[in-house]
Amino acid sequence: QVQLVESGGGLVQAGGSLRLSCTASGRIFGTYTMAWFRQVPGKEREFVVIISRFAGTTYYLDSVKGRFTIFGDNAKNTLYLQMDSLKPEDTAVYYCAADLKQLPSLASEYAYWGQGTQVTVSS
C-alpha cells in the first residue's frame, strides 16, 4: 500500500507554467505504474499521462503532448508533472495515481490516489 500527496497547484495565466508534485510514502519507481489524471465538475476523470512501472514508457493525452512532461526523483519517491503553455481548458483538479498493474489506463483501474490539487488557468 502506498500513500500519495500532491502539491503545486494554483492559479496561473494562460501561457504560464506550473509544476505538480506527488510524494509517495514509499518506493514507487520500478514498482507501480504511475499516472496523472484530471477532473472537472460533471465530467469523468481523464488520464493526462501514464508512466509504466518497469520500462518507464510514457503515454500522454493528445491535448497535452509537447506541453506537459512527467518525470520523477527516485531518491525522493516523488513524481512530477511539469505543465507549460497552459490553456484555460487545462483547468481541473489534478490527481496522482498508482497501481501495480502493468498499464492501467482507466481511473477505475487505479488502486491508490492522492487527494488532488486544483489547477486554474485564466484567459
Taking residues 39-48, report their average pLDDT: 96
Whole-number Å distance between alpha carbons of 89 and 120: 9
Beta-carbon neighbour count of residue 78 at 10 Å? 18
Q: Name the band, by pLDDT with cuts 50, 70 and 90, for residue 56.
A: confident
Residues 60-75 pLDDT 10s: 999 999 999 999 999 9
Residues 10-31 pLDDT 10s: 999 999 999 999 999 999 888 9
Predicted confidence (pLDDT) at residue 55 exceeds the cutoff of 90? no
Whole-number Å distance between alpha carbons of 110 and 122: 30
Whole-number Å distance between alpha carbons of 28 and 19: 19
Residue 74 cell numbers, joined: 527516485
For residues 107 and 115, is the Cβ–Cβ distance under 8 A? no
pLDDT at 30: 85
